[in-house]
Amino acid sequence: MSDRELYERAAAAAERAYAPYSNYLVGAAVLARDGTVVEGVNVENAAYPLGVCAEGNALSSAVTRGYRPGDLEAIAITASPCGGCRQWLHEFRLERVTYARSGGELATVAPRDLLPDTWDF
Ligand code: THU
């Protein structure tokens, strides 16, 4: 699956986001090395800080299915990943991150390009 096709999966997932407070719908799609695609959306809460981001949700779902760091090849996100999510992307050692820049154009980069001088436990 191409990065563009993975992005289309993320965009389709975004329509299922639950974001009644911000009205900012975000979708993410993770491509595992075995070809499986796992999607995620942002899910907000009336207690605002409890909301979760789409890419964290997608990665959490992938872990629930048994995938671990190194099992995941790429992710596509319909928004530029927030700071915290960049640490998530680093954790799972993805090769490529495709996301929509604020102008709408797609960028494909490595997680290290999004988070230099990473912290590791
Ligand atoms: N959001 C994401 O899902 N991913 C990001 O990387 C950026 C922000 C969501 C969180 C919140 O539900 C909404 O976008 C507005 O911030």
Give tens-digit pLDDT for 26-80.
Answer: 999 999 999 999 999 999 999 999 999 999 999 999 999 999 999 999 999 999 9
Best substitution site from 21, 26, 55 to test ligand 1's pocket, by max atoms within 8 Å of Cβ? 26
The mean of the pLDDT values for the chain is: 96
Res. 114 pLDDT band, cuts 50 70 90: very high
Q: Is 22 in the pocket of ligand 1 (CB under 6 A)?
A: yes
Best substitution site from 21, 24, 102, 115 to test ligand 1's pocket, by max atoms within 8 Å of Cβ? 24
For each of the domains in the chain, give its residue range(s) and CATH number, in order of start: 3-87+96-114 (3.40.140.10)
What span, in angstroms and rounded, lies between the C-alpha atoms of 91 and 84?
11
CA angle 115, 55, 82 (to 5 degrees): 45
15 in active site? no
